[in-house]
Amino acid sequence: MTSYCYLNLSGQDGKIVSTNDAHISISDIGLLRGYGVFELLRTYHGKPFHFKEHYKRFVASAKALGLRIPVSENTLKSIIKTLLVKNKFPESNIRIVLTGGKTINGMEFDKKNPTFIVLIEPLHEMPKSVYTKGVKLITHQYQREFPRAKTLNYLTAVSLGEKRKKAKAFEVLYTKEGNVLEASTSNIFIFRKGKLSTPKDDILIGVTRNCVLTLAQSAYDVDEKTISMKDLLSADEVFITATNKAIIPVVQIDGKKIGSGKVGKHTRYLMDMFAHYTLHYTHD
């Protein structure tokens, strides 16, 4: 089946093309040096979820790397709208990628000519069991470079894939000096004594994280703060959040049971709240 994407290459106007005809230069600095940023959105009922928040983060990521976004917010919105109609997937992932474009000498790039891609993929749903049974995590000491930016650098995450699978873990949780940061593609939350907390420093500020924080405020005492490994392992409940995951309960970390080792009642409550929110979501 033909699918369509938007591509804006060095010195060319952007256009919608079949993904089979979409090619980037072999001297793109995104390929040669991994120099670029991206966003991943998803649709609910065919509409991009929290577009404005994703766009804001995209602008901040691009700024952190000195990259220029070649289209306005409104143009990007209408590109996405057109692509969603053309691709006709029931629900979609929307991947927006920006690199420095063709490199000049392997290290430099021309700010005026970035590579900019909007890709639409059919939504990859997580298996139902992760929501009903919860998942395991393994920990790894690591802090992402440019932690506030959504860069293309997932070297640690990808290279730990084998280790993660061997441990039957769903995600790798990054730690630094005895504190918890974020998972390789998710944010983390803990419930302790009925209070909800999530880290705020040296992490990517997830759009799902912020949405969950806002929703949770109506029912819980909520705090953004440093979380130690000790706090984490003695938490009553733990869960992770991300665009492609929503809220996924965590029941084991490095082989240690969290709380009862089952999906907790507060996590379940927030999962229901989030599901209700997405069901009725209609705007940016």
By CB under 6 A, name the one of 3, 61, 87, 187 that touches ligand PMP: 187
Is the CB of 161 or the CB of 261 nearer to ligand PMP?
A: 161
Give the range of 73-81, 115-123, 206-214, 270-278 binding ligand PMP by CB under 6 A. 206-214
**Greatest CA separation found in the chain?**
58
First and final CA of the chain: distance in angstroms? 30
Is the CB of 56 or the CB of 165 nearer to ligand PMP?
A: 56
Give the range of 118-126, 178-186, 224-232, 249-257 binding ligand PMP by CB under 6 A. 178-186
Should residue 208 be labelled a site residue for ligand PMP when binding is judged by CB under 6 A? yes
Is the CB of 175 or the CB of 243 nearer to ligand PMP?
A: 243
Question: Can you point out the beta strands (E) in 58-114?
Answer: 92-99
**Token representation of residue 230:** 């000790």
Q: Which amino acid is at 126?
A: M
Print the binding letters for residues 123-152 with ligand PMP: x by CB under 6 A, - otherwise: ------------------------------
Measured CA to CA in angstroms, residue 258 lies from 129, 175, 192, 230, 244 at distances of 18, 17, 11, 12, 23
Chain residue at closest Cβ approach to ligand PMP: 206
Rounded to whole angstroms, the Cα distance separating 9 from 115 reads: 5
Taking the complex as a whole, the smallest distance from the CB of residue 43 to ligand PMP amounts, in Å, to: 14
Should residue 204 be labelled a site residue for ligand PMP when binding is judged by CB under 6 A? yes
Beta strands 195-198 and 221-224 are: parallel
Within 31-70, the residues that bind ligand PMP by CB under 6 A are 40
Query: How many chain residues touch ligand PMP (CB under 6 A)?
Result: 13
The residues near 13 (Cβ < 8 Å, ≥ 6 apart) are none
Is the CB of 110 or the CB of 224 nearer to ligand PMP?
A: 224
Taking the complex as a whole, the smallest distance from the CB of residue 100 to ligand PMP amounts, in Å, to: 20
Return the number of other C-beta atoms located less than 10 Å from residue 189's C-beta: 26
Print the binding letters for residues 211-250 with ligand PMP: x by CB under 6 A, - otherwise: ------------------------------xxx-------
Alpha helical stretches, state H, 134-242: 155-159, 161-166, 207-216, 229-233
Among 3, 80, 4, 92, smallest CA distance to 42 is for 92
What is the chain's length? 284
- Residues in the site for ligand PMP, rule: CB under 6 A? 40, 182, 185-187, 204, 206-209, 241-243
